[in-house]
Structure 1
Amino acid sequence: MTSIKEQAAISRLLSFLQEWDNAGKVARSHILDKFIETNRGKTAPELEQEFSQGASLFLVRLTTSLRITYVTDSCLEKLLRSIGIFLSAVSSNRYLIEFLEVGGVLTLLEILGLEKIKEEAKKESIKLLQVIANSGRTYKELICESYGVRSIAEFLAKSKSEETQEEVQVLLDSLVHGNPKYQNQVYKGLIALLPCESPKAQQLSLQTIRTAQSIIGTTHPSIVDCVLKVLGTMHLEVQYEDPALPSSMKPGFLQGEGPPLWGLSASSADILGRLDRWTTIQPFLLPLQPPPPVLQLRFAFPAPPRPAQPWSVKGREEDSDEWRLGSRSSLLPRWWRGLGPLTSTSALPQPSS
């Protein structure tokens, strides 16, 4: 026999579910707003207590509404946030399995590829994928098996919001760690992002490639051409990330230890080595330019303070150009000091290129 309190709680639950079933678009939006406000941050036991041990009944209605209405973007962002309350709750493994059994991952990935859906809704979809990926290796493999890497990488390249792109980077970084079966697939997807037109996507891809490279250990040959093309970008944030890549991917090559890595030809390896040396010195002057053929030097040293007594150097007056140069001869190049006394700075010889 159930107590009076339990019967009252069950009655409230049935009334709430009936209200949801009969509500229209505007009424459901208000119900979702109230649910998000009152249940954010709750654990799974607290949600069960709130819904009288029937929280799964409301989750089923949310996932069903998501699959039916996500194409029309009807309350999509609020639906995803409400589902996120269930999936991110402590001890929510039961809710996670229920969501995956109805094709939740495929629905989230399909949302990323629809152009009519707003950016904020896609951002919430990425956050749900993060929750799923952080639940364990099995769930990471499920995302990759659902062609998730391709969908996520394409969305990163097309997204116009930097905040959303950063959320995508967090997801890709999660898929690289603790996923030995598909980490190479994620690595190749990051390489494929390098030629994209979005500078932010290129920057985030380079950051994640550096992490993936340390995990995988081996380098894919296709990365060479992609990195060389990215070196010519005019975006400083990409240039900042790019110069560190060549030295990290070929540790012994620049020091002349052993043959070129990755099976590169000598010419390609030489180009990559020279680019690495230049970008170490001038990381923000890309595309690289060769030095000028003739180096024009012209020195103008400030005159020293006048001494108490008049001086002379080699019998000349203190105001002569040679006195100014002779008193600071230690600052001049070695080949210059061997030329003897000079009468004017305009007559200085020009070094050969």
Structure 2
Amino acid sequence: MGPRLQEQLRRWDHGNRASRMQQLEAFIDQCSDASGPQLEVALENGASLFLARVSSWLRLSFALGHSVGLPLQAISIFIGAHAGQRFLAEFVEVGGVATVLEILKLPKLADDDKAKAIRLLVAVSSAGRHYKEIVCESGGVEVLEALMRLTMSEPELEQARDLLVLLGRGNPSFSTAVHRALLRLLRCDSGVAQRMACEGVRALVSALPSSQDRPPLRIVAIACGC
């Protein structure tokens, strides 16, 4: 750990909310497209130390009712970094997925923060079946279904639906739960959410091998125009 990182961590540990937000803004501006090795260089081989602090601050900001957009965005840089699988494992190990799902349950969560939380879960789920299972085991399917029942903008509904579809693919332990959630959404009050759910069913059915096709899903998909 180099002197520059030591100073950065000292400022973080002793700084107030405004100071930490400035640090996150600078990090996001400088490292938005960085790979895992590049993050280590930028943070003088102390990337895990910084990620741990940001993850902890995310939990604190959520608990205090503060905006969580910047820490979510910063963590997404680590999670989505090429060759940055270690950062993903570290974030999951400290309960990061459960924290993000709890954030999505907030009744007055800002739309921008909601979108960033969903994008972070997409990055986690895109890492493979193991991480999809972690999201589902933490209640991800139920949280996304509840979100889609709320009044949301169409782009946000699309994000939630696409994450549900992602969780339903290549994840046999939870594919049935995803299918049932989408089928229940076909009966919700929102016409836009119904359409999104229908498109989600079609996407899942089209990806199923014929040997795994489920007749009830196929019937719904046909009714939806598939």
Does the TM-score normalized on the shorter chain lie above 0.5?
Answer: yes
Q: 1:62 to 1:218 in 2, by over 3 A?
A: same
Asked which structure has the greater RCO (Cα within 8 Å, sep 6+), the reply is 2
Aligned ranges 1:11-22 → 2 under 5 Å: 11-22=3-14
Residues 1:25 and 2:25 are matched in the alignment: no
Pick from 53, 56, 65 the counterpart of residue 57 of structure 2.
65
Preserved contact between residue 25 and residue 74 of structure 1 (Cα < 8 Å): no
Cα drift, residue 59 of structure 1: 0.2
Find the residue that maps to 2:86 and give its secondary structure.
helix
Preserved contact between residue 213 and residue 219 of structure 1 (Cα < 8 Å): no
Find the residue that maps to 1:71 and give its secondary structure.
helix
Query: Counterpart in 2 of 1:104?
Result: 96
Q: Which amino acid aligns with 1:69?
A: S
Cα drift, residue 94 of structure 1: 0.2
Gapped regions of structure 2 (runs ≥ 5): none
Query: Counterpart in 2 of 1:77?
Result: 69
Cα drift, residue 72 of structure 1: 3.2
Preserved contact between residue 159 and residue 165 of structure 1 (Cα < 8 Å): no
Pick from 199, 205, 213 the counterpart of residue 197 of structure 2.
205
Deviations 1:86-121 (A, max 9, x none): 000001110000000011111111111111321211
Deviations 1:221-257 (A, max 9, x none): 9x98xx7xxxxxxxxxxxxxx8x42776xxxxxxxxx
Query: Counterpart in 1 of 2:155?
Result: 163
Q: Which amino acid aligns with 1:245?
A: A
Cα drift, residue 170 of structure 1: 1.5
Deviations 1:198-237 (A, max 9, x none): 222111100011122342511349x98xx7xxxxxxxxxx
C-alpha root-mean-square deviation of aligned residues, in Å? 2.0
Query: Counterpart in 1 of 2:111?
Result: 119
Pick from 245, 248, 263 the counterpart of residue 223 of structure 2.
245
Residues 1:139 and 2:165 are matched in the alignment: no
Cα drift, residue 26 of structure 1: 1.4
Query: Counterpart in 2 of 1:36?
Result: 28
CA distance in structure 2 between the aligned counterparts of 1:40 and 1:75, rounded to whole angstroms: 20
CA distance in structure 2 between the aligned counterparts of 1:145 and 1:204, rounded to whole angstroms: 24
Pick from 155, 179, 182 the counterpart of residue 190 of structure 1.
182
Preserved contact between residue 132 and residue 140 of structure 1 (Cα < 8 Å): yes
CA distance in structure 1 between the aligned counterparts of 2:169 and 2:71, rounded to whole angstroms: 29
CA distance in structure 2 between the aligned counterparts of 1:75 and 1:65, rounded to whole angstroms: 11
Query: Counterpart in 2 of 1:218?
Result: 214
TM-score normalized by structure 2? 0.91
Deviations 1:10-33 (A, max 9, x none): 111110001011111111111111
Q: Which amino acid aligns with 2:52?
A: V
CA distance in structure 1 between the aligned counterparts of 2:67 and 2:169, rounded to whole angstroms: 33
Give the greater-gyration-radius structure (CA). Answer: 1
Preserved contact between residue 77 and residue 124 of structure 1 (Cα < 8 Å): yes
Per mean C-alpha deviation after superposition, the further-off stretch among 181-190 and 194-203 is 194-203
Query: Counterpart in 1 of 2:170?
Result: 178
Q: 1:18 to 1:75 in 2, by over 3 A?
A: farther
